[in-house]
Amino acid sequence: MSIAKIFKSFDNLIKKVPSTLFVPPEKLKGLLSQLPSIKIFKIGNSRDGQPMFGVKCGVGKRKVSLIAGCHADEPVGPMMLIFLCQWLSNHNLSKALLNEWTFIIIPQMNPDGALKNNSWMELPLSFSHYFENAVRELPGDDIEFGFPETASTLVRPENKNASTFLSQFGPFDAHFSLHSLGVGGGVWYLIGDNHGKSSQHLREVLKKETLLMNYDLLNIDRFGEKGFTRLDEGFSTSPTSVKMKEYFLARDDKVMAAKFHWSSMEFIKSLGRDPLMLVSEVPNFISPHLNDLLTKEDFNKKIKFEEARIKAFNNQDKEKAINDFLKEYEVKSMPSVSQMSLQFKMIINSLIWVANK
């Protein structure tokens, strides 16, 4: 099985990306229903009553879970998982993978959030439209950190639906939660701390794939804040609910701390085994001025960037001011097909790493 051919076959498929990243629930069901070798489940309804769907594909002994869309303003991941379902069900190169792995997928974890953001999802993404219209849940109402610790834990219906569905198929050998950065200095990969140190070879592979596509890695050190511990350029451990709670308790915000539950990674890990867990943080827009954040002082660059962005958006001649801002900060868009290609390569390379452990 040639990995280069696998990557090329997926890249050819995503050339068919539609004109918008917004996929209504009824359209999602229709797209999935057309695919052979895919079993579709209605796993429940969202807070606002929209249907949620899960997918099972493959017959392998190893199991992998994949979710996307936890944050309302991150539509690339759900679109990527739709294409992944198409690739798994229709491409000859996926057969060996499906004999080794069983894929359990929830393409859209947050249909309500996607609906609230659909006004800016037309491609190519516009920096202005994104920052003027993006809607995101506040901390404490976060689906990624809303998974129940026990069967009686009160959580959002989306998390209840997902945890019930995923539990039927656990334990898992790998888990992926696909996320995006609105704007960042480069691509960032988060790895569960159970494989932080042992994943050096995988990190080298993912770094190579990213650089081959001419994208920088996000070179950042969060100094352990919220569980983000730097592993290497472009890599940190993924945050945890324990560290999230500690962060807010240290600021005497007991109410906010109490709102954080397990992340999807912590939930999957609770089902057993020792799963490899990765989060993709792939930016919609890239600025080199937001990279190399390695000291506390370096983070002033983010403050300066945001102050300049707000000033431009509030300027009377807004269009000119924004264009000047984009030029000054060298902001460029990262096409959605490039984001999806990197997410696919992360998944495939990670599954190979797990199989070869």
Give me the CATH number covering residue 127. 3.40.630.10
Judge whether 324 lies within some domain. no
Judge whether 317 lies within some domain. no
Judge whether 315 lies within some domain. no
φ/ψ of residue 42, rounded to 5: -85, 115
pLDDT at 310: 98
* Helix/strand/coil for 143: coil
For residue 234 the two structure tokens come to: 């472009």
Per-residue exposure over 89-117, b if at least 16 CB sit within 10 Å of its own CB, e if not: beeebbeebbeebbbbbbbbbbbbbbbbb
Sign of CA dihedral 287, 288, 292, 293: negative
pLDDT at 26: 86
pLDDT at 1: 61
For residue 253 the two structure tokens come to: 């915000």
Threshold 0.85, pTM exceeds: yes
pLDDT at 257: 94
φ/ψ of residue 51, rounded to 5: -70, 145
pLDDT at 98: 94
Q: Annotate 79-111 with DSSP letters as a single string.
A: HHHHHHHHHHHH-GGGHHHHHHEEEEEES-S-H
Per the structure, the complete domain to which residue 16 belongs is given by: 3-287+331-355
Judge whether 308 lies within some domain. no
pLDDT at 11: 97
Judge whether 325 lies within some domain. no
Chain centroid to Cα 181, Å, comes to: 9
Q: Number of structural domains, the chain? A: 1
72's CB contacts (< 8 A; 6+ apart) are 110, 112, 113, 114, 116, 117, 135, 136, 137
Q: Residue 2 CB: number of other CB atoms within 10 A? A: 9
pLDDT at 10: 97
Judge whether 292 lies within some domain. no
Judge whether 313 lies within some domain. no
Judge whether 320 lies within some domain. no
Per-residue pLDDT of the chain (357 residues; tens, 9 = 90+): 689 999 999 999 999 999 999 999 889 999 999 998 899 999 999 999 999 999 999 999 999 999 999 999 999 999 999 999 999 998 788 999 999 999 999 999 999 999 999 999 999 999 999 999 999 998 889 999 999 998 888 899 999 999 999 999 999 999 999 999 999 999 999 999 999 889 999 999 999 999 999 999 999 999 999 999 999 999 999 999 999 999 999 999 999 999 999 999 999 999 999 999 999 999 999 999 999 999 999 999 999 999 999 999 999 999 999 999 999 999 999 999 999 999 999 999 999 999 998
For residue 272, the one-letter residue type is: G
Residue 171 vs residues 22, 139, 272: alpha-carbon distances, Å: 31, 29, 5
